[in-house]
Amino acid sequence: LQQRRGLRLSAPAAIQVTVRDALNQALDEELERDERVFLLGEEVAQYDGAYKISRGLWKKYGDKRVIDTPISEMGFAGIAVGAAMAGLRPVCEFMTFNFSMQAIDQVINSAAKTCYMSAGSISVPIVFRGPNGASAGVAAQHSQCFAAWYGHCPGLKVVSPWSSEDAKGLLKSSIRDDNPVVMLESELLYGVPFEMSEQAQSKDFVIPIGKAKIERPGTHVTLVAHSRPVGHCLEAATVLSKEGVECEVINLRTIRPMDIETVEASVVKTNHLVTVEGGWPQFGVGAEICARIMEGPAFNYLDAPAVRVTGADVPMPYAKLLEDNSIPQVKDIVFAVKKALNI
């Protein structure tokens, strides 16, 4: 009727959604969509989750679908892996991925290798998810990035979201995947609002695992990052653009399988590469990207050596000043770009 009267109808606008709420939406939609999906972990049910990711889900779905566990990562990860082998689709939350070291035998030896060792006859559709990398003021035993750890292992898929759309789309894809997926979130991003498009608000919205996204096009240098450092790269790109340097910022989204083709195409265009990550330098995600570029066709297009920006090669200090100097900052990315461009 409004259209007949000549009134202009606008499409629903994009909305601001925090990463926390995006993850909650994804869990809610997948629990509703598939009765085989269930969530388990410490405090995920009656307390609504340590980070409120599972807020309201226990009241909606009950004890059989949202399950509080004892403080025993090896125990409840093992239960989840067994449930996946038996045909369910568990989402296993670690309060932090630092605690996943208690269950790493279950993640690697039980979940990741079973499909191969059974000649494809047993699939393990499980998602291990929770906060990864540095938070704020939690020191050495709670501030490690596990992207390189789990990205090293065949049989796993590893995703690492930045924005709310990343978080929702990747979690839904991970739950629907027939393989074990490790989803590395950032605690410091949980409360950050991002614009969510109309498409991303749909219950059918998924993001393919293994596909990176160009967050900002540019011509002078390629910046590649995942998780929280993507935001730092975009901030650095804004600073550098005022000096005439246009950075192409790539959000990896997936650590394994890695979308090296998107990185290669960008390097062919910009002729320079800088990788950024919160993890340690040795055997890191940036090291893998640099090696893949060196071994592939894009190497001949590089006009300068690739540069890595990483966390400091030390256990995370507790003191804030030292912590800030152990995590890549915008100024470190700007410095690395200028080094790569020799300016």
| Cα–Cα dist 250/176, whole Å | 25
**Which H or E element spans position 296?**
none
30, 42, 93, 142: the catalytic one is 142
Tokens encoding 92:
């296993």
From its phi and psi, is residue 68 left (phi > 0), alpha (psi between -120 and 50) or beta? Answer: beta
Tokens encoding 320:
């804030």
Largest Cα–Cα distance of the chain, in whole Å? 67
Q: Is 235 a catalytic residue?
A: no
Tally Cβ neighbours within 10 Å of residue 136. 11
Q: DSSP strand E in 121-280: where?
A: 127-131, 157-159, 181-185, 193-196, 213-216, 221-225, 247-251, 254-256, 273-276
User: Is residue 260 within 8 Å of residue 253, measured between CB atoms?
Assistant: no
**Which H or E element spans position 95?**
none
42, 73, 165, 277: the catalytic one is 73
Those residues with Cβ within 8 angstroms of residue 265's Cβ, 6 or more apart along the chain or in another chain: 298
**What is the arrangement of strands in the sheet containing 247-251, beginning at the earlier edge strand?**
213-216, 247-251, 221-225, 273-276, 307-309
Q: Is 73 a catalytic residue?
A: yes
Which pairs from 61-66 meet CB under 8 Å and 24+ separation? 61/31, 64/38, 65/31, 65/37, 65/38, 65/39, 66/31, 66/38, 66/39, 66/40
To 10 degrees, what angle do helices 330-341 and 229-241 make? 60
| Cα–Cα dist 316/335, whole Å | 22
CA 243 from centre of chain:
31
Tell me 283's DSSP state: T
Active site residues: 73, 142
